[in-house]
Chains A and B, each alone.
Chain A
Amino acid sequence: MTGGKLYDLRGVSKSFTKGKEKITIFNDLNMSISEGDFLAIMGPSGSGKTTLLNLLGGVDKPTGGEIWFDDSRVDNLSESQLAKWRANNIGFIFQFYNLMPMLNAERNVELPLLLTKLSAKERKKNVAAAMELVGLSDRAKHMTSEMSGGQQQRVAIARAIVSDPKLILCDEPTGDLDRKTADEILSMLQLLNREFGKTIVMVTHDPSAANYAKRVLHLDKGEFVEKDLVA
């Protein structure tokens, strides 16, 4: 299912300055991600996984190098261009779900569609389809604060896919869930990858993530240590 090149990172570096101290996370990082990939990025805490995901998602900018997406450069886009680019191409899934507590489940899922030209009726239809896909059709009107962690993460998945982006970026999507629920979520991501052709990049600690992903990269001290493909 792996198609053409979706991402290309060329000589990417990223450093933070804390006071007078300069902390370098990446120095000359090169990698590419193909369309249809399901990539798990693993590594010890503090190894730069979230930072890498932020760079891929265009919510943070590299200090050096270039990031190419679909054959166009994205690291030099302006704030508002990036916001539009994210809206069009990326669905995010967070460790702590990041749902809006004052909105019910379907309103949360609808949020990305408010950035599109879809009519209220079309939005409703798409939201219903996404809720169906994550198996929460009967909970559409529930407040997310009254849901279990697994249900909340499914609402978040519905929100990430409702506008049909090519790419889903997940930061520790099972980090806050028990084993059984974590497996449900991982299967769901796998389904999205296999059946719907979504490219997924997932940062995780979860050792069983390897059972679901197509490819696993180990990040250590800002460098990839490629290990064998699993399954």
Chain B
Amino acid sequence: MTSIFSQIITVVMMNIRSLPRRFWMSLAATLAIAVVVAVLLSFLSMSNGFRKTLEGAGTEDTAIITRSGSKSELNSVLSNDVVNIITTAPGIAKDANDRPIYSAELYVVVDGIKRTTNTKVNIPMRGISQTGFDLRKNVKITEGRMFEPGKNEIIAGASIQREFSGFELGNRVKFGKTTWTVVGIFSTGGSAFESELWADARVLQSQFRRGNSFQTVRVLLSEPGNIDGLLKAVEDDPRLMLDIQTEADFFKEQGEALGGMVKLGWILSIVMSLGALAGALNTMYISVTEREQEIATLRAIGFSNISAFFGTLVESLVLSLLGGIIGTVAAYLFMDGLTTSTLGGNFTQVAFTFEMSSDLLMNGIILALIIGLVGGFFPAWRAARLPVVLAFRGGA
């Protein structure tokens, strides 16, 4: 029936043209939907960016060894003996002198002054060696030079320098009683390591009174992703109470700490959606009441009730789509690329960037359309069932 189609189009166009009569109310309903969508997208883009930052740090080429059950680098402790035993396990790549390639590292927390808020927050400081430096993906010194072993020198990650004051090249910074000189700035292509300070592991051991102990060991795998040899060694030796994961898996797990954030985002958005839905329902019921006589007149002329139904439903969908687009654009303009940092799980401050994607934006539009669909359905149903005799009721 082409007639039904042209009827629907006519009624929709008439409803859209009558929107100025209900301008403020329709605008309010549209903006309520926009806010819901913007909130949802903020959460989603935040967790998306966080996940990407962490996943970007990890590689399948290395395995990370922590004390069993420690879950994070910060909570792990490994004695020198354990480090010596585990690094002889099979599956670790060897250098030209047939020595295993590994990096025993320390991981401590120091204070930094955040530029945006001027408050003290934790930043991670990593004790590392040249080998440890080389094990990182995409790592390079962008300014200055590498620290010299045995000296109180640090190199700062690019986002540390961006987000915290006092880490300019050549600056001296004080952590507790020790003073350090910033001799270099490094980048790792935007991954989580850029939110760290790096110094010589041996110097850190003495300055932070760690004796001979370390916290984690990273080993270069002879075959990427294959940690069987290491797992077998742990299984066979009761002295080794260790967790072994590829670095990629390790960071992925850390990234999931923000999975709760996504859930929270959805819950908050759905609760707010109920508010927006109430607004949409109210607006559309008023729209139907206002158009009662027009709807009945069209019905008297011979227009079908299907056209009254879809005319109203589409009006609602148009308003909600508009809200969805406004919310999406707002979220995109204000959130995408916004850099922030968060206390991620047991992690310390990790700088990351809100990252929108077309998938996320679709989520926002779909949520808006669902609100519009439900908010329009019941009023549309009423419109379809209006008695035609209303056309003859007086009162212009």
Interface residues of A (CB under 8 A from B): 50, 53-54, 57, 59-60, 79-80, 83-84, 86-88, 92, 94-98, 100-103, 111-112, 114-117, 159, 171, 176
Contact = CB atoms under 8 A, between A and B. Distances in A.
Given A103-B14, A115-B302, A171-B392, 18 more contacts: A53-B392, A54-B389, A57-B300, A59-B299, A83-B303, A86-B302, A87-B302, A88-B302, A92-B300, A98-B293, A102-B17, A102-B18, A103-B17, A111-B10, A114-B3, A114-B10, A117-B3, A176-B396
A59 B394 contact: no
A116 B7 CA distance: 10
A23 to B, nearest CB: 15
A115 B391 contact: no
Contacts of B293: 98
B396 A112 contact: no
B297 interface: yes
Given A83-B302, A112-B301, A59 B396 contact: no
A115 B389 contact: no
- Majority SS at the chain B contact face: helix
Size category of the binding interface on chain B: 20 to 34
Contacts of A86: 300-302
B339 interface: no
Nearest to A175: B394
Given A83-B299, A87-B302, A103-B14, A96 B3 contact: no
Contacts of A176: 396
B395 interface: yes
B233 interface: no
B302 A94 contact: no
Contacts of B300: 57, 59, 86, 92
B62 interface: no
A88 B388 CA distance: 17
Contacts of A79: 305
B395 A96 contact: yes
A50 B392 contact: yes
Given A98-B293, A171-B392, A83 B304 contact: yes
B294 interface: yes
Contact of B301 (A92, A95, A96, A171): A92
A1 to B, nearest CB: 26
Contacts of B2: 117
A98 B392 CA distance: 9
A94 B297 contact: yes
A92 B7 contact: no
A112 B301 CA distance: 6
A5 B146 CA distance: 107
Nearest to A98: B297
Nearest to B294: A100
B388 A112 contact: no
A39 to B, nearest CB: 18
User: Which of A59, A60, A86 has most B Cβ within 10 Å?
Assistant: A59
Contacts of B395: 96
B278 interface: no
A114 B392 contact: no
Nearest to B15: A102
Nearest to A54: B389
Contacts of A83: 299, 302-305
Contacts of A57: 300
A59 B388 contact: yes
Contacts of A87: 301-302
